[in-house]
Amino acid sequence: MRKSEINEINEFFNSLGIDNEMLSQMASSYTENFMIQGEETTKLEEILKRAPESLLDWILENWQEEVDAEVSCENKERTVYDVITESFQKELIFLDKEDVEVMLRAMNGHPLSAVQMAALQDNYCHKGWVFMFCKDEKCSFVVPDEIREMMITGLKDEKTQSLLGLITGVRLTLRACMNLFGVVEKKKVLQIAVDKMFKYSDLSEEEQKELAWLSEKAEEALQLLCQREEGGFWCEEDWIISEAFESRREYKDFLKQVSGQEYYIPNHKEIYSYAEHMVNMENPCYKKMVKDLTGLMKNKVRADNLMLELEYRTVQDDFQAKDIMKLLFTRGITFSSKRSEENFATNCSQWVYTVRKWSNRGFTDKELGRQKKEVSFFVAPEQILKDVQTPKIQKKIGRNDPCPCGSGKKYKKCCGK
């Protein structure tokens, strides 16, 4: 982990009043309750014998298995063993490509980045697919032999490979649609997946007949993903809704706003891009904004966090360049000269003009032929500050918005818990 990231984390904990002693106590408690002490072992039965009872209970609770206080340790270990192996066998086809890569790295003892270690801890330890060992104050991740064998066997099996590819393609399309549209019909996701993700529309009529099963299987995959509601969305009838909409009324009002508009249809490459990000990270205006904010804030981590917030606000809330400039003033971010301010604002206007927005059903203002809204400079910063500091209505922070504390996490996973 970079020094700047460590400093950022320390600042965050300090803002919450958590000192080093408290952090040490928290770490000690976690180690005692959810990690296994001593030498590593890859045999699942031995792992469960050495595991703290609180870890066994945690795994059972995750899979919604009842924890009987009267059951013997031996019987509990056997139950956990069965739950772990059965769950992995069922869930293997739903693993992301990133999931598979991180699991394989852990299985083969390859070095893991801080992000990959966090992913293992957050996504797999509570499922019992990966365990954390601690020896001499050093932490390591272990994938049990049984999980390793099922993964290797599954990845070699043609049927499993096909299912993994199908579900992955539909999942990527679904994520891209969520980032592009906010609310989307299931049939639209299916159409984009079949025609663009799997390039069905590029085939000849004869080839399409041979692959008539693809549409049906893709629809089954989409229904499975909707039932699981994983990845920041919820469903109602024929609609898939981003969890940025917290109620039925919110998304219904939004549908009225976009009624009659056509959907933007992403191509194969864009599906991959928008499945991971809300905006085009390769946009030169975007890159320049990140560079300028880093220079203004003298801290890349904070600049990245602010840029993430601006992405959400521009895509979801239809922020304009003037709104972004006002936000910078309220955060105390100032420019060294009038010229640098004007250059930033001009680039900001161009970026906003080329961002794909929910209110446009994924189109940019530029593609719709709308007039670009430039920032007026005759308004003094002091007046802008005054206007912003006395708003008529304060917008509620959405669960999916960046947390205002500056941690970089979503509000629902930080102060909004």
Per-residue pLDDT tens over the stretch 146-201: 999 999 999 999 989 888 999 999 999 999 999 999 999 999 999 999 999 988 77
Would you say 319 and 313 are in contact if contact means Cβ atoms under 8 Å apart?
A: yes
Q: According to the model, what pLDDT value does residue 415 have?
A: 65
As a whole number, the mean pLDDT across the chain is: 85
What is the predicted pLDDT for the residue at 64?
Answer: 82
Q: Which residue has the higher pLDDT, 362 or 374?
A: 362
Query: At 393, is the pLDDT very low, low, confident or very high (cuts 50, 70, 90)?
Result: very low
The pLDDT confidence band at residue 28, using thresholds 50, 70 and 90, is confident
At 407, the pLDDT band (50, 70, 90 cuts) reads low
Q: Which residues contact 314 (CB under 8 A, 6 or more apart)?
A: 279, 324, 352, 355, 357
Model confidence pLDDT, tens digit, residues 53-109 = 999 999 999 998 776 667 788 899 999 999 999 999 999 999 988 888 999 999 988
Q: How high is the pLDDT of residue 67?
A: 66
Cα distances from 71 to residues 3, 76, 79, 87, 99, in angstroms, run 47, 6, 10, 21, 34
pLDDT tens figures, 325-363: 999 999 889 898 989 999 999 999 999 999 999 999 999
Beta bridge partners of 135: 138
Going from the C-alpha of 256 to that of each of 31, 44, 183, 241, 315, the distances in angstroms are: 51, 54, 12, 14, 18
What own/partner pairs with CB < 8 Å and gap ≥ 24 does 63-72 have? 63/87, 63/127
Look at 140 and 398; give whichever has higher pLDDT: 140
For residues 30-55, average pLDDT? 93
Model pLDDT, residue 209: 75
Average pLDDT over residues 302-311: 93
Q: Are 211 and 200 in contact (CB under 8 A)?
A: yes
Which amino acid is present at 402?
A: P
**Strands 233-236, 239-242: parallel, antiparallel or unpaired by DSSP?**
antiparallel
